[in-house]
Structure 1
Amino acid sequence: MYSIDTDGWLSDVTRRPSTNYNQRPFGHSIELLVIHNISLPAGCFGTGYIEQLFCNTLDCSVHADFADLLDLRVSAHLLIDRLGEVIQFVSFLDRAWHAGVSHYAGRDNCNDFSIGIELEGCDNVPYTDLQYQQLQRVTDALMKRFPLLTPERIVGHCDVAPGRKTDPGPAFDWHRYLQYWEC
């Protein structure tokens, strides 16, 4: 069971603080959880490049696919890798830069009121058992700490940025993930 401390950090996980965040606008509550996927290079896992991207240490010259990432400043609150390791980059109390141009329930700028979790993966490769287990444990801790988060307020990046984003993709088993909270 995870817990979240008063500073917004998850217990018992690796912390790799990113500078790619800022404060949430005054009066914005955490009301949404956005599930993403990422792999660098695309379709490659376990490279360490995701952490480097979120911490602004990625050498974009090491792979041709990284050319578009030069000077990009992005982050997620958490990454869950293929082996189930959870790495936190930004306090849940702060605004990570994960959703980009986004819209949900009549509101723009989802970063203002959401938490972003990246799963190491890609749209068409099944996620691992360990990733689902860790995602459920983390989500449970988040819902206990932030009461406006409910299973109905968990979406994919594709839902808040349709036409622009496709993640977590068809390989993500929403039923498997959400059945954890079904009665």
Structure 2
Amino acid sequence: MYIINSAGWLSPAAKHPSPNFNDRPPDGDISLLVIHNISLPAGQFGGSQVRELFTNCLDCGADPSFLDLRDLKVSSHLFINRQGEVSQFVSFADRAWHAGVSQFAGRENCNDFSIGIELEGCDDIPYTYEQYCELITISQTLCRVYPAITPERIVGHNDIAPGRKTDPGAAFDWTYYKNALE
């Protein structure tokens, strides 16, 4: 069972506070859940690089693909690795920097009113059973605590930033995930 405390932290997720967040706007309702994917280096799983990126500790000289990440300030509320282990970087009460330039249902800047969950993965490699189990349980918890997040308001990064983002990609089984939420 998952609990979200009054400060917006999920228990039993591991906490790795990121400096990459700010306050939500005063009228910033929490009404959207955005599913992402990430792997560093691309297509490689199991390292600490995602945590390091979200906490501004990534050694950008460790891999040639990291050079583009130098000085990048990003975060997500949650990260679910391939084994289903959950880490939280930003309180749900705060605005994580996960969506970038984005729009949903005519509203710009989705970071203002969304929660971002990163799955360790890439567009074309199937996600693990453990990831789906955790994502489903967490999503049900979020929908209960933030009732404005309905199944229709759970989307992929590609849905709010089309042409710019492709995640969670074709490998994400939306039918399985959404059916499990019912």
- Structure 1 segment 1-183 matched on structure 2, within 5 A: 1-182=1-182
The 3-state SS of whatever aligns with 2:3 is: coil
- 2:140 aligned counterpart, secondary structure: helix
Deviation at 1:180, TM superposition (A): 1.4
Q: Percent identity?
A: 62
Secondary structure class of the residue paired with 1:87: strand
When normalised by structure 1's length, the TM-score is: 0.99
Gaps of 5+ in 2: none
For these two proteins, the number of residue pairs brought into alignment is: 182
Q: Distance in 1 between matches of 2:54 and 2:67?
A: 16
Report SS of the residue matched to 1:44. Answer: coil
What is the CA distance between 1:47 and its match in structure 2? Answer: 1.3
Cα offset, 1:181, TM superposition: 2.5
Asked if the contact 2:13/2:88 (under 8 Å) is kept, the reply is yes
TM-superposed deviation, 1:170:
0.1
**Equivalent position SS for 1:43:** coil
CA distance in 2, matches of 1:175, 1:155: 12
Tell me how far 1:126 sits from its aligned partner. Answer: 0.1
SS of corresponding position for 1:62: coil
